């Protein structure tokens, strides 16, 4: 830059709304937003999640309604989480063709699958009685390779129920490769995988565990989710491995506390980068707004712009339908 003040005056481009809108470097679009939705077996009315105001555990009927609203708003995708009535140690309901998640996938893809992308979380924590993301050894550790077999079966069941994308979130080593091989072997070679490549053992997940009823009954998930204090190179190693195994898109979770990881992924990869604005991020803004401490709408939009500016192509957010309507 050659000119200096008083010739150079950056405020010239900020002096009115039309100018600011014209030169904005970061823009949100409804098609970039993905709405997480929860469906619970055995309830006859949607149940509010106390720690996430405005979020519900849906019935199959209310889920269809929420899906239609998202589609009408222009939201780009939905990701479904299922809560079965009966849980066991191996998460049998996760790949049951008649399980709540597979039923919900069939419902939603039949009605709005042409308008947006319907996908499902591919994990076990919502389905196991112990609340962990995989099969446990007798000592209580998560057995990585035994869990891969379950993930492969779940992914195929989801694809056969109509899931248009598979989103493995368990952070097991080799999960993308195992799922890719299973999908291809079952005739689903065209179903893409959105890999949770950098998922951190985060305190920001707390309210989600109320919504999905998946809190661990003992211990935590630090043996497989990444350490929040871990080095950047660890996250980059994870994403390189997922791409080598066949991931079509990659994800960082959570979002706001990991903008540096999102930016690093965007520099590193040539596939879409997603970021999950998680339950804790949502709950904090809603709580602060309810107390009058922040402007709710401005804070929501600013948080999403920050995630987009960091490099996210896709954003999973519980405000997807609301924000899509506002854009």
Asked if residues 134 and 221 have their Cβ atoms less than 8 Å apart, the reply is no
Active site residues: 199, 253
Please give the Cα distance from 252 to 260 (Å, whole number): 10
Task: For residue 105, give Cα distances in angstroms to 12, 78, 213.
Answer: 51, 10, 19
Give the distance, in angstroms, between the CA of residue 162 and the centroid of all CA atoms in the same chain: 18
Neighbouring residues of 272: CB distance < 8 A, sequence distance ≥ 6: 248, 249, 250, 313, 314
End-to-end CA distance of the chain: give it in Å, rounded.
34
What 3-state class would DSSP assign to 39?
strand
Q: How would you class 227 by CB atoms within 10 Å of its CB: exposed for 0-12, middle for 13-18, buried for 19 or more? A: exposed
Task: For residue 273, give Cα distances in angstroms to 2, 139, 240.
Answer: 36, 37, 13
Q: Which two tokens stand for residue 193?
A: 């995988």
Q: Which two tokens stand for residue 264?
A: 């690093």
DSSP, residue by residue, 96-145: -TTSHHHHHHHHHHHHHTTTSEEEEEE-STTTBTT--SSPBPTTS-B-HH
Q: Which two tokens stand for residue 114?
A: 């042409």
């Amino acid at each position: 830059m050659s000119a200096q003040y008083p010739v150079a005056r950056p405020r010239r481009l900020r002096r009115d709304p039309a100018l600011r809108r014209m030169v904005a470097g970061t823009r949100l679009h409804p098609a970039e937003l993905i709405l997480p939705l929860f469906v619970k077996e055995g309830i006859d009315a949607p149940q509010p999640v106390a720690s996430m105001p405005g979020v519900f555990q849906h019935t199959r009927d209310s889920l269809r309604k929420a899906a239609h609203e998202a589609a009408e708003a222009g939201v780009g995708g939905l990701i479904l989480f299922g809560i079965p009535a009966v849980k066991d140690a191996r998460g049998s309901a996760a790949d049951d063709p008649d399980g709540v998640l597979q039923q919900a996938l069939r419902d939603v893809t039949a009605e709005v699958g042409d308008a947006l992308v319907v996908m499902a979380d591919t994990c076990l924590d919502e389905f196991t009685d112990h609340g962990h993301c995989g099969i446990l050894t007798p000592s209580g550790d998560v057995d990585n390779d035994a869990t891969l077999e379950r993930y492969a079966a779940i992914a195929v069941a989801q694809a056969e129920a109509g899931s248009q994308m598979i989103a493995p979130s368990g952070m097991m080593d080799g999960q993308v490769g195992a799922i890719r091989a299973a999908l291809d072997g079952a005739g689903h070679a065209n179903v893409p995988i959105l890999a949770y490549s950098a998922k951190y053992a985060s305190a920001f997940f707390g309210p989600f565990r109320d919504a999905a009823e998946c809190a661990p009954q003992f211990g935590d998930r630090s043996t497989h989710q990444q350490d929040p204090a871990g080095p950047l190179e660890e996250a980059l190693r994870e994403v390189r491995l997922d791409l080598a195994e066949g991931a079509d898109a990659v994800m960082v979770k959570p979002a706001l506390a990991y903008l540096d990881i999102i930016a690093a992924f965007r520099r590193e990869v040539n596939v879409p980068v997603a970021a999950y604005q998680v339950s804790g991020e949502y709950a904090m803004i809603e709580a602060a707004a309810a107390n009058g401490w922040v402007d709710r709408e401005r804070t929501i939009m600013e948080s999403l712009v920050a995630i987009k500016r960091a490099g996210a192509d896709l954003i999973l957010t519980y405000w997807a339908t609301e924000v899509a309507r506002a854009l």
